[in-house]
């Protein structure tokens, strides 16, 4: 039985000298760890799991579908179940209506992110991963990069489709609409797509930090989505000045056309969210480097 004969490398060429029986130093010049290769490895991992594609497909369906339904309901062309005719949510503007699905998309992408981070701990694949990349930190950032490379374009396209399709429904129903060129609309649409990506990255970091799918999903949904609402009700009036620095509130400042009074400015909100992201990913890098696997 032959164990190894040749081991050509990915680039097609085979710069490695063929070796016979004996080992010699430098037998592996062609095999080298590099950041580009860690990226490639993480990309293969992400794209070869069916759950990635099922999850992202549902994000698109939810974003576009909910936008269309909400637009239909608000123009009265779709009657709400058990409802007394048209009407619908009058409190929100046309942009909120067509991007209604983003609220659920945030949930889905948060979960997708948590899975991307914690899944290897559940399967113990992390042992093989860390053995292959013993410096470890690059695994976390590579996961973040490939996740963004997949999630951001899809979020962007889905958000834009939701915007245009929903707006078309509103127009057909004779309702008020906004155009991308109106003040703040483009920022809010792009901002929504970015927020969808950021929530996935926060989930990824939590998944790695907590090493447990359920715990990270619970923490993400509790901390990022539920906590701001509860805390707002519980905290004394001064608490509002703290709440605006929470990730979801900071995101509101640039995903909403007219953010609630007291929120940060769009630029400041983006910076605060970026700080959260750096903190989370940085924390995950430190944790994976420090801990025993």
Residues forming the site for another protein (CB under 8 A): 1-5, 7-12, 21-23, 27-28, 30-34, 37-38, 40-42, 44-45, 48-51, 119-120, 123-135, 292-293
Minimum CB–partner distance for residue 117 and another protein (Å): 13
CA 37, 281, 58, 190 dihedral sign is: negative
Phi and psi angles of residue 196, each rounded to the nearest 5 degrees, phi first: -60, -40
Minimum CB–partner distance for residue 59 and another protein (Å): 19
What is the rounded CA–CA span in Å between residue 74 and residue 70? Answer: 6
Minimum CB–partner distance for residue 114 and another protein (Å): 15
- For residue 168, the Cα-to-chain-centroid distance in whole angstroms is 27
Minimum CB–partner distance for residue 44 and another protein (Å): 4
Q: Do 269 and 263 contact (CB within 8 A), yes or no? A: yes
Q: Which is nearer to another protein, 27 or 161 (CB)?
A: 27
User: Exposed, middle or buried by CB within 10 Å (0-12, 13-18, 19+), for 157?
Assistant: middle
Minimum CB–partner distance for residue 207 and another protein (Å): 14
Q: Do 272 and 198 contact (CB within 8 A), yes or no? A: no
Minimum CB–partner distance for residue 131 and another protein (Å): 5
What is the rounded CA–CA span in Å between residue 19 and residue 3? Answer: 12
Q: Which is nearer to another protein, 11 or 90 (CB)?
A: 11
Q: Which is nearer to another protein, 214 or 226 (CB)?
A: 214
User: Exposed, middle or buried by CB within 10 Å (0-12, 13-18, 19+), for 119?
Assistant: middle
What is the rounded CA–CA span in Å between residue 176 and residue 264? Answer: 27
Q: Which is nearer to another protein, 22 or 82 (CB)?
A: 22
Q: Which is nearer to another protein, 124 or 265 (CB)?
A: 124
What is the rounded CA–CA span in Å between residue 254 and residue 220? Answer: 20
Q: Which is nearer to another protein, 12 or 82 (CB)?
A: 12
Q: Which is nearer to another protein, 278 or 291 (CB)?
A: 291
Minimum CB–partner distance for residue 20 and another protein (Å): 9
């Amino acid at each position: 039985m032959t164990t190894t004969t040749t081991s050509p490398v990915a680039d097609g060429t085979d710069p490695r000298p063929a070796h016979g029986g004996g080992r010699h130093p430098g037998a592996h010049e062609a095999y080298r760890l590099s950041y580009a290769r860690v990226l490639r490895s993480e990309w293969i991992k992400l794209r070869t799991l069916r759950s990635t594609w099922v999850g992202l497909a549902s994000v698109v369906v939810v974003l576009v579908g909910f936008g269309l339904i909400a637009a239909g309901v608000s123009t009265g062309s779709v009657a709400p179940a058990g409802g007394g005719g048209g009407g619908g949510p009058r409190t929100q503007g046309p942009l909120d209506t067509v991007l209604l699905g983003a609220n659920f998309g945030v949930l889905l992408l948060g979960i997708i992110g948590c899975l991307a981070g914690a899944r290897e701990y559940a399967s113990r694949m992390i042992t093989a991963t860390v053995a292959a990349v013993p410096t470890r930190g690059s695994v976390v950032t590579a996961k973040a990069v490939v996740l963004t490379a997949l999630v951001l374009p899809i979020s962007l396209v889905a958000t834009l489709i939701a915007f245009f399709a929903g707006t078309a429904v509103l127009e057909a129903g004779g309702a008020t609409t906004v155009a991308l060129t109106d003040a703040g609309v483009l920022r809010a649409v792009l901002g929504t797509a970015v927020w969808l990506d950021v929530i996935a990255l926060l989930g990824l970091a939590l998944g790695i930090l907590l090493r447990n799918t359920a715990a990270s999903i619970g923490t993400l949904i509790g901390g990022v989505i539920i906590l701001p609402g509860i805390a707002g009700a519980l905290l004394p009036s001064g608490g509002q000045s703290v709440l605006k620095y929470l990730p979801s509130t900071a995101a509101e400042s640039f995903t909403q056309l007219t953010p609630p009074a007291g929120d940060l400015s769009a630029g400041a909100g983006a910076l605060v969210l970026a700080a959260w992201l750096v903190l989370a990913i940085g924390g995950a890098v430190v944790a994976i480097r420090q801990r025993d696997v």
